[in-house]
Amino acid sequence: MAVDVDPTEERTLPKARIPLKLEEMAMAAGMAAIAMITGMNVLTRYLTDISLAFTEEYSVLLMVVVTLIGAGYAAARGSHIRITFVTDRLSENGRRMAEIVSTSLLLVVFVLLVVYGAQLAWDDYIFEIETPGLGHPQWIYTACLPLFSLGVVARAAGRIIRLYRGESA
């Protein structure tokens, strides 16, 4: 059975070259912006019967960005969801190798997101697709997928390097 985690216990952040505090601040700012936009929309609809439906595009974009930043943050910390039934029975070296393999698979998935997301953004740019609500160029929104997926790739690669070196990743 997996080791029980105490949520009140301070967890040390791994030694990454780019501090993880940047992701924490970006996620907090993104969540605050989503809360403000949604709150403003609800309040306006309640008080004036006017919907600010156009703000949904911004909220969805911010949710995608916050999710991808959070994925990079979790990759750096080794906090992605996992099933530890098998790895709990492995030696320390076996657990480390399993962690390297799983993080490598995560890296492959996000490299694919970078490649195919860039192709999608390029298609949106070439075909001059516009967003349905505001009429902005769709590629601006679509480009966030490969851009922030690169951050996840970088964080996962850094974690793999730290694991290979035997550092506490």
Taken in order 88, 169, 66, 8, the sign of the CA dihedral is positive
Residue 41, CB half-sphere, CA atoms under 13 Å: how many?
Answer: 15
What's the pLDDT tens digit per position in 3-54? 555 666 666 767 777 889 999 999 999 999 999 999 999 999 999 988 887 8
Highest mean pLDDT among 41-45, 69-73, 86-90: 69-73
d(CA 72, CA 150): 9
AA letter at 145? L
Domain boundaries, the chain: 21-165
Q: Which residues of 36-47 are buried (b: 16+ CB within 10 A; e: fewer)?
A: ebeeebeeeeee
pLDDT (tens digit, 9 = 90+) per residue, 100-140?
999 999 999 999 999 999 999 999 999 999 998 889 999 99
Token digits for 55? 């703000």
